[in-house]
Amino acid sequence: MRTFVTGAAGFIGSTLVDRLLADGHRVVGIDNLTTGDLANLNQALAFHAPGRFTFVQADVQSPELSDIVAGSNPDVIFHLAAQVDVRISVADPLLDARNNVLGTINVCEAARAAGVRRIVYAASGGSRYGAPLALPVDEETPAHPLSPYGVAKMVGELYLGAYAQMYDIAPICLALANVYGPRQNPHGEAGVVAMFGSAMLQGRPVNIYGDGTASRDYVYVGDVVEAFARAGESSLDITGTFNIGTGQQVTVREVHRVMAALVDGSLPPNFAAARTGELQAIALDAAAAEASLGWKPAVGFTEGIERTVSWLRATLAPDPAELIGA
Ligand SMILES: NC(=O)c1ccc[n+]([C@@H]2O[C@H](COP(=O)([O-])OP(=O)(O)OC[C@H]3O[C@@H](n4cnc5c(N)ncnc54)[C@H](O)[C@@H]3O)[C@@H](O)[C@H]2O)c1
Protein backbone atom coordinates (compact mmCIF):
# COMPACT_ATOMS: atom_id res chain seq x y z
CA MET A 1 0.00 0.00 0.00
CA ARG A 2 1.16 3.56 -0.67
CA THR A 3 0.56 5.73 2.37
CA PHE A 4 0.86 9.42 3.18
CA VAL A 5 1.33 10.60 6.78
CA THR A 6 0.92 14.22 7.90
CA GLY A 7 2.58 15.10 11.21
CA ALA A 8 5.12 12.37 10.43
CA ALA A 9 7.84 13.73 12.71
CA GLY A 10 5.56 13.93 15.75
CA PHE A 11 5.07 11.52 18.64
CA ILE A 12 2.25 9.43 17.18
CA GLY A 13 3.00 10.18 13.50
CA SER A 14 6.59 8.91 13.64
CA THR A 15 5.50 5.77 15.51
CA LEU A 16 2.93 5.19 12.79
CA VAL A 17 5.56 5.70 10.07
CA ASP A 18 7.74 2.98 11.64
CA ARG A 19 4.75 0.66 11.90
CA LEU A 20 3.70 1.20 8.26
CA LEU A 21 7.26 0.55 7.04
CA ALA A 22 7.45 -2.61 9.17
CA ASP A 23 4.17 -3.75 7.59
CA GLY A 24 5.75 -3.43 4.13
CA HIS A 25 4.03 -0.24 2.96
CA ARG A 26 5.56 2.74 1.16
CA VAL A 27 5.36 5.94 3.18
CA VAL A 28 5.61 9.61 2.29
CA GLY A 29 5.66 11.71 5.45
CA ILE A 30 5.26 15.46 5.76
CA ASP A 31 5.72 17.73 8.74
CA ASN A 32 6.47 21.42 9.25
CA LEU A 33 8.60 20.53 12.31
CA THR A 34 6.91 23.01 14.68
CA THR A 35 6.70 20.46 17.50
CA GLY A 36 7.92 17.46 15.54
CA ASP A 37 11.52 16.31 15.64
CA LEU A 38 13.41 14.82 12.70
CA ALA A 39 15.23 12.58 15.20
CA ASN A 40 11.92 10.73 15.62
CA LEU A 41 12.36 9.61 12.01
CA ASN A 42 15.93 8.28 12.38
CA GLN A 43 14.73 4.69 12.24
CA ALA A 44 12.53 5.38 9.20
CA LEU A 45 15.26 7.30 7.37
CA ALA A 46 17.70 4.44 8.00
CA PHE A 47 15.17 1.88 6.76
CA HIS A 48 17.04 -0.53 4.47
CA ALA A 49 14.66 -0.54 1.53
CA PRO A 50 15.40 2.21 -0.98
CA GLY A 51 12.46 4.45 -1.80
CA ARG A 52 10.15 3.04 0.85
CA PHE A 53 10.23 6.21 2.94
CA THR A 54 10.36 9.84 1.84
CA PHE A 55 10.18 12.86 4.12
CA VAL A 56 9.03 16.26 2.88
CA GLN A 57 9.21 19.31 5.14
CA ALA A 58 5.95 21.08 4.37
CA ASP A 59 2.94 22.66 6.02
CA VAL A 60 -0.49 21.09 5.59
CA GLN A 61 -1.81 24.60 4.93
CA SER A 62 0.50 25.15 1.95
CA PRO A 63 -0.83 25.40 -1.61
CA GLU A 64 1.83 22.84 -2.66
CA LEU A 65 0.14 20.12 -0.60
CA SER A 66 -2.04 19.00 -3.53
CA ASP A 67 1.02 18.49 -5.74
CA ILE A 68 2.88 16.63 -2.99
CA VAL A 69 -0.09 14.30 -2.42
CA ALA A 70 -0.72 13.80 -6.14
CA GLY A 71 2.97 13.08 -6.70
CA SER A 72 2.98 10.32 -4.10
CA ASN A 73 -0.35 8.89 -5.31
CA PRO A 74 -1.32 7.32 -1.97
CA ASP A 75 -4.02 4.76 -1.28
CA VAL A 76 -4.47 6.18 2.22
CA ILE A 77 -3.79 9.54 3.88
CA PHE A 78 -3.21 9.44 7.62
CA HIS A 79 -3.82 13.00 8.80
CA LEU A 80 -2.14 13.64 12.17
CA ALA A 81 -0.55 17.08 11.69
CA ALA A 82 -2.06 19.53 14.14
CA GLN A 83 -1.43 22.26 16.65
CA VAL A 84 -1.84 20.01 19.71
CA ASP A 85 -1.58 22.31 22.73
CA VAL A 86 -4.94 23.24 24.29
CA ARG A 87 -3.43 26.25 26.04
CA ILE A 88 -1.98 27.63 22.79
CA SER A 89 -5.44 27.21 21.26
CA VAL A 90 -6.89 29.35 24.06
CA ALA A 91 -4.16 32.01 23.74
CA ASP A 92 -4.26 32.08 19.93
CA PRO A 93 -7.42 30.45 18.57
CA LEU A 94 -6.76 31.79 15.07
CA LEU A 95 -3.37 30.07 14.88
CA ASP A 96 -5.00 26.87 16.11
CA ALA A 97 -7.80 27.12 13.55
CA ARG A 98 -5.40 27.85 10.70
CA ASN A 99 -3.47 24.67 11.45
CA ASN A 100 -6.32 22.42 12.52
CA VAL A 101 -9.30 23.63 10.47
CA LEU A 102 -7.74 25.17 7.33
CA GLY A 103 -5.00 22.53 7.36
CA THR A 104 -7.59 19.75 7.45
CA ILE A 105 -9.64 21.35 4.66
CA ASN A 106 -6.45 21.54 2.59
CA VAL A 107 -5.84 17.83 3.22
CA CYS A 108 -9.45 17.08 2.14
CA GLU A 109 -8.95 19.14 -1.03
CA ALA A 110 -5.65 17.44 -1.81
CA ALA A 111 -7.31 14.04 -1.35
CA ARG A 112 -10.21 14.99 -3.59
CA ALA A 113 -7.91 16.32 -6.31
CA ALA A 114 -5.71 13.21 -6.21
CA GLY A 115 -8.64 10.80 -6.00
CA VAL A 116 -7.62 9.41 -2.60
CA ARG A 117 -10.67 7.82 -0.99
CA ARG A 118 -9.41 6.81 2.45
CA ILE A 119 -8.41 9.43 5.00
CA VAL A 120 -7.70 8.32 8.57
CA TYR A 121 -7.88 11.32 10.88
CA ALA A 122 -6.51 11.77 14.41
CA ALA A 123 -9.57 13.14 16.21
CA SER A 124 -9.56 14.05 19.89
CA GLY A 125 -11.58 11.73 22.13
CA GLY A 126 -10.35 13.63 25.18
CA SER A 127 -11.92 16.93 24.11
CA ARG A 128 -14.75 15.77 21.82
CA TYR A 129 -17.34 15.05 24.50
CA GLY A 130 -16.75 17.97 26.87
CA ALA A 131 -17.34 16.93 30.49
CA PRO A 132 -19.71 13.94 30.23
CA LEU A 133 -21.65 12.81 33.29
CA ALA A 134 -21.52 9.08 32.62
CA LEU A 135 -18.29 7.26 31.74
CA PRO A 136 -17.02 5.66 29.62
CA VAL A 137 -18.55 7.62 26.71
CA ASP A 138 -19.41 6.06 23.38
CA GLU A 139 -19.52 7.82 20.00
CA GLU A 140 -23.27 8.49 20.28
CA THR A 141 -22.64 10.88 23.17
CA PRO A 142 -23.21 14.40 21.79
CA ALA A 143 -20.04 16.28 20.90
CA HIS A 144 -19.50 19.26 23.16
CA PRO A 145 -15.91 20.45 22.89
CA LEU A 146 -14.97 23.12 25.45
CA SER A 147 -11.76 24.60 24.00
CA PRO A 148 -10.74 26.10 20.64
CA TYR A 149 -8.54 23.01 20.15
CA GLY A 150 -11.50 20.69 20.81
CA VAL A 151 -13.76 22.68 18.49
CA ALA A 152 -11.18 22.75 15.68
CA LYS A 153 -10.49 19.00 15.93
CA MET A 154 -14.26 18.35 15.86
CA VAL A 155 -14.68 20.66 12.86
CA GLY A 156 -12.09 18.50 11.10
CA GLU A 157 -14.37 15.50 11.62
CA LEU A 158 -17.34 17.47 10.26
CA TYR A 159 -15.43 18.51 7.13
CA LEU A 160 -14.40 14.92 6.53
CA GLY A 161 -18.05 13.90 6.88
CA ALA A 162 -19.08 16.56 4.36
CA TYR A 163 -16.37 15.44 1.91
CA ALA A 164 -17.64 11.88 2.32
CA GLN A 165 -21.09 13.04 1.20
CA MET A 166 -19.87 15.25 -1.62
CA TYR A 167 -16.98 13.30 -3.12
CA ASP A 168 -17.15 9.68 -2.08
CA ILE A 169 -14.21 10.05 0.28
CA ALA A 170 -14.28 7.38 3.02
CA PRO A 171 -12.96 8.92 6.23
CA ILE A 172 -12.26 7.15 9.47
CA CYS A 173 -11.85 9.45 12.47
CA LEU A 174 -10.07 7.85 15.41
CA ALA A 175 -11.08 9.76 18.54
CA LEU A 176 -7.99 9.18 20.65
CA ALA A 177 -7.92 9.15 24.44
CA ASN A 178 -4.75 10.37 26.25
CA VAL A 179 -1.94 8.83 24.29
CA TYR A 180 1.37 8.16 26.06
CA GLY A 181 4.56 6.31 25.29
CA PRO A 182 8.06 6.64 23.85
CA ARG A 183 8.71 9.82 21.79
CA GLN A 184 6.16 11.95 23.59
CA ASN A 185 7.99 15.22 24.10
CA PRO A 186 9.47 15.07 27.64
CA HIS A 187 10.43 18.74 27.60
CA GLY A 188 7.10 20.43 27.00
CA GLU A 189 3.64 20.21 28.50
CA ALA A 190 2.65 17.41 26.13
CA GLY A 191 1.37 14.78 28.48
CA VAL A 192 1.43 14.03 32.15
CA VAL A 193 3.33 10.74 31.73
CA ALA A 194 6.16 12.36 29.74
CA MET A 195 6.31 15.33 32.12
CA PHE A 196 6.27 13.26 35.30
CA GLY A 197 8.80 10.78 33.93
CA SER A 198 11.31 13.40 32.84
CA ALA A 199 10.99 15.31 36.14
CA MET A 200 11.45 12.15 38.21
CA LEU A 201 14.45 10.93 36.23
CA GLN A 202 16.10 14.34 36.51
CA GLY A 203 15.44 14.54 40.27
CA ARG A 204 12.91 17.37 40.02
CA PRO A 205 9.64 17.36 42.00
CA VAL A 206 6.41 16.86 40.08
CA ASN A 207 3.50 19.30 40.25
CA ILE A 208 0.01 17.86 40.64
CA TYR A 209 -2.66 20.48 40.00
CA GLY A 210 -5.70 20.02 42.24
CA ASP A 211 -6.02 17.06 44.60
CA GLY A 212 -4.80 14.46 42.11
CA THR A 213 -8.18 12.76 41.68
CA ALA A 214 -8.64 14.02 38.11
CA SER A 215 -8.63 10.98 35.85
CA ARG A 216 -7.87 10.23 32.22
CA ASP A 217 -8.03 7.26 29.88
CA TYR A 218 -4.38 6.51 29.03
CA VAL A 219 -3.83 4.54 25.84
CA TYR A 220 -0.39 3.31 24.79
CA VAL A 221 1.02 4.68 21.51
CA GLY A 222 1.68 1.18 20.14
CA ASP A 223 -2.01 0.37 20.54
CA VAL A 224 -2.94 3.66 18.88
CA VAL A 225 -0.83 3.00 15.78
CA GLU A 226 -2.36 -0.48 15.63
CA ALA A 227 -5.75 1.26 15.32
CA PHE A 228 -4.40 3.53 12.53
CA ALA A 229 -2.89 0.54 10.70
CA ARG A 230 -6.18 -1.38 10.91
CA ALA A 231 -8.20 1.64 9.78
CA GLY A 232 -5.87 2.14 6.82
CA GLU A 233 -6.31 -1.45 5.67
CA SER A 234 -10.03 -1.76 6.41
CA SER A 235 -12.68 -2.06 3.73
CA LEU A 236 -13.89 1.30 2.36
CA ASP A 237 -17.45 0.73 3.54
CA ILE A 238 -16.24 1.25 7.12
CA THR A 239 -16.33 4.99 7.85
CA GLY A 240 -17.16 7.33 10.73
CA THR A 241 -15.79 8.03 14.18
CA PHE A 242 -14.34 5.38 16.49
CA ASN A 243 -13.18 5.93 20.04
CA ILE A 244 -9.68 4.64 20.73
CA GLY A 245 -9.17 4.25 24.46
CA THR A 246 -9.11 1.68 27.23
CA GLY A 247 -12.35 2.64 29.00
CA GLN A 248 -10.34 2.79 32.25
CA GLN A 249 -9.91 5.92 34.34
CA VAL A 250 -6.50 6.44 35.92
CA THR A 251 -6.06 9.31 38.39
CA VAL A 252 -3.07 11.64 38.33
CA ARG A 253 -2.09 10.32 41.76
CA GLU A 254 -2.07 6.78 40.35
CA VAL A 255 0.11 7.84 37.41
CA HIS A 256 2.53 9.33 39.92
CA ARG A 257 2.48 6.23 42.13
CA VAL A 258 3.14 3.79 39.26
CA MET A 259 5.95 5.93 37.86
CA ALA A 260 7.54 6.67 41.24
CA ALA A 261 7.75 2.93 41.91
CA LEU A 262 10.00 2.62 38.83
CA VAL A 263 12.31 5.56 39.53
CA ASP A 264 14.58 5.27 42.56
CA GLY A 265 14.64 8.33 44.78
CA SER A 266 11.74 10.14 43.12
CA LEU A 267 10.44 13.02 45.25
CA PRO A 268 6.89 13.28 46.63
CA PRO A 269 4.64 15.43 44.42
CA ASN A 270 3.91 19.13 45.02
CA PHE A 271 0.21 19.89 45.09
CA ALA A 272 -0.72 23.16 43.36
CA ALA A 273 -4.06 24.90 42.78
CA ALA A 274 -6.26 23.20 40.19
CA ARG A 275 -6.02 24.82 36.75
CA THR A 276 -9.25 26.37 35.51
CA GLY A 277 -10.99 24.61 32.67
CA GLU A 278 -9.36 21.22 33.28
CA LEU A 279 -11.62 18.25 32.90
CA GLN A 280 -12.21 16.14 36.03
CA ALA A 281 -12.66 12.78 34.29
CA ILE A 282 -12.85 11.12 30.88
CA ALA A 283 -12.82 7.57 29.62
CA LEU A 284 -13.79 6.25 26.19
CA ASP A 285 -15.84 3.22 25.28
CA ALA A 286 -14.06 1.63 22.29
CA ALA A 287 -16.58 -1.17 21.64
CA ALA A 288 -17.31 0.20 18.14
CA ALA A 289 -13.62 0.04 17.18
CA GLU A 290 -13.53 -3.56 18.36
CA ALA A 291 -16.65 -4.45 16.37
CA SER A 292 -15.65 -2.69 13.11
CA LEU A 293 -11.85 -2.69 13.15
CA GLY A 294 -11.17 -5.66 15.42
CA TRP A 295 -9.18 -3.27 17.62
CA LYS A 296 -8.75 -3.36 21.36
CA PRO A 297 -5.93 -2.17 23.57
CA ALA A 298 -3.25 -4.78 24.24
CA VAL A 299 -0.76 -2.96 26.47
CA GLY A 300 -1.78 -2.52 30.12
CA PHE A 301 -1.04 0.71 31.96
CA THR A 302 1.82 -0.61 34.11
CA GLU A 303 3.53 -2.27 31.13
CA GLY A 304 3.11 0.87 29.00
CA ILE A 305 4.57 3.01 31.76
CA GLU A 306 7.54 0.63 32.15
CA ARG A 307 8.28 0.92 28.41
CA THR A 308 7.93 4.71 28.54
CA VAL A 309 10.21 5.08 31.57
CA SER A 310 12.86 2.88 29.86
CA TRP A 311 12.70 5.11 26.79
CA LEU A 312 12.86 8.29 28.87
CA ARG A 313 15.82 6.89 30.81
CA ALA A 314 17.72 6.26 27.57
CA THR A 315 16.69 9.58 26.03
CA LEU A 316 17.43 11.75 29.04
CA ALA A 317 20.70 10.00 29.93
CA PRO A 318 23.45 12.61 30.13
CA ASP A 319 25.70 12.68 27.10
CA PRO A 320 29.09 11.25 28.27
CA ALA A 321 30.89 13.81 26.05
CA GLU A 322 29.21 16.64 27.98
CA LEU A 323 30.25 15.12 31.28
CA ILE A 324 33.89 14.93 30.12
CA GLY A 325 33.73 18.56 28.98
CA ALA A 326 32.15 19.73 32.27
N1 LIG B 1 -1.26 12.83 22.09
C2 LIG B 1 -2.53 12.70 22.41
O3 LIG B 1 -2.86 12.33 23.55
C4 LIG B 1 -3.61 12.96 21.38
C5 LIG B 1 -4.95 12.76 21.77
C6 LIG B 1 -5.95 13.01 20.82
C7 LIG B 1 -5.63 13.41 19.54
N8 LIG B 1 -4.32 13.59 19.21
C9 LIG B 1 -4.02 14.02 17.84
O10 LIG B 1 -3.01 13.18 17.33
C11 LIG B 1 -2.22 13.93 16.39
C12 LIG B 1 -0.74 13.77 16.71
O13 LIG B 1 -0.49 14.31 18.00
P14 LIG B 1 0.88 14.08 18.79
O15 LIG B 1 0.52 13.85 20.21
O16 LIG B 1 1.71 13.08 18.06
O17 LIG B 1 1.51 15.54 18.73
P18 LIG B 1 2.88 16.04 18.06
O19 LIG B 1 2.96 17.51 18.34
O20 LIG B 1 4.02 15.21 18.49
O21 LIG B 1 2.60 15.79 16.52
C22 LIG B 1 2.00 16.73 15.65
C23 LIG B 1 2.92 16.90 14.48
O24 LIG B 1 2.29 17.76 13.51
C25 LIG B 1 3.27 18.68 13.05
N26 LIG B 1 2.53 19.87 12.59
C27 LIG B 1 1.85 20.76 13.35
N28 LIG B 1 1.25 21.67 12.56
C29 LIG B 1 1.56 21.33 11.29
C30 LIG B 1 1.25 21.89 10.03
N31 LIG B 1 0.49 23.00 9.93
N32 LIG B 1 1.74 21.30 8.91
C33 LIG B 1 2.53 20.20 8.99
N34 LIG B 1 2.87 19.63 10.16
C35 LIG B 1 2.38 20.19 11.30
C36 LIG B 1 4.17 18.95 14.23
O37 LIG B 1 5.45 19.45 13.86
C38 LIG B 1 4.26 17.55 14.86
O39 LIG B 1 5.30 16.80 14.31
C40 LIG B 1 -2.73 15.36 16.44
O41 LIG B 1 -3.64 15.54 15.37
C42 LIG B 1 -3.47 15.43 17.76
O43 LIG B 1 -4.51 16.41 17.73
C44 LIG B 1 -3.30 13.38 20.10
CATH code at 41?
3.40.50.720
C-alpha dihedral sign at 89, 94, 99, 102: positive
The pLDDT assigned to 189 comes to 64
What is the tens place of the pLDDT at every residue in 60-92?
999 999 999 999 999 999 999 999 999 999 999
Predicted local confidence at residue 320, as pLDDT: 52
Cα angle value 303/17/158 (rounded, 5°) = 95
By residue range, what is the domain housing residue 14? 2-181+218-245+285-298
Say yes or no to pLDDT of 118 above 50. yes
Cα–Cα distance measured from residue 185 to residue 182, given in angstroms and rounded to the nearest whole number: 9
pLDDT at 322 over 50: no
**156 pLDDT tier (thresholds 50, 70, 90):** very high
What is the distance in A from the centroid of ligand 1 to the CA of 285? 23
What does the pLDDT read at residue 51? 86
Domain count, the chain: 1
**Mean pLDDT computed over 194-211:** 92
- What is the average per-residue pLDDT within 178-183? 98
Residue 325's pLDDT is what? 41
Whether residue 305 lies inside any domain: the answer is: no
Interatomic CA distance for residues 248 and 284, integer angstroms: 8
Q: What is the pLDDT of residues 235-278, one digit of tens each?
A: 999 999 999 999 999 999 999 999 999 998 888 899 999 887 78
- Residue 321 inside a domain? The answer is no
Does 117 have pLDDT greater than 70? yes
Residue 257 lies in a domain: no
Q: Is residue 317, in this structure, part of any structural domain at all?
A: no
Q: Which atom of ligand 1 is nearest to the CA of 103?
A: 31
Q: Is residue 186 part of a domain?
A: no
CA of 27 to the centre of ligand 1 (A): 18
Three-state DSSP class for residue 116: coil
Mean pLDDT over 139-155 rounds to 97
> How far does Cα 308 stand from its chain's mean position?
15
Q: Is residue 76 part of a domain?
A: yes
Mean pLDDT of 224-229: 98
Residue 323 has pLDDT above 50, yes or no: no
Among 12, 98, 149, 308, which is best to mutate for testing ligand 1, by the most ligand atoms less than 8 A from CB? 12
Contact 146, 277 (CB under 8 A): yes
Task: Report the share of the chain in percent with pLDDT over 70.
Answer: 96
Q: 227: closest CA among 116, 108, 40, 78?
A: 78
Task: Give the distance (Å) from ligand 1 centre to CA of residue 122.
Answer: 8
Across the chain, mean pLDDT equals: 94
Q: How many whole angstroms from 320 Cα to the centroid of ligand 1?
A: 32
Any idea which of 111-125, 272-286, 310-324 has the lowest mean pLDDT? Answer: 310-324
State the average pLDDT over residues 280-305: 97
Pocket test for ligand 1, best of 80, 85, 95, 149 (most atoms within 8 A of CB): 80
- Domain contains 313: no
Tell me the mean pLDDT in the region 179-194: 87
**What is the reported pLDDT for 318?**
58
Q: Are 186 and 316 in contact (CB under 8 A)?
A: yes
Q: Do 217 and 172 contact (CB within 8 A), yes or no?
A: no
Q: Cβ < 6 Å from ligand 1: which residues?
A: 6-7, 9-13, 31-36, 59-61, 80-84, 99, 103, 122, 124, 126, 153, 176, 178-179, 191
Over residues 45-59, the mean pLDDT reads: 91
Q: Is residue 106 part of a domain?
A: yes
**How many Cβ atoms from other residues are within 10 Å of residue 191's Cβ?**
22
Is residue 326 predicted with pLDDT exceeding 50? no
The catalytic residue positions are 149
pLDDT at residue 191 tops 80: yes
pTM equals 0.96
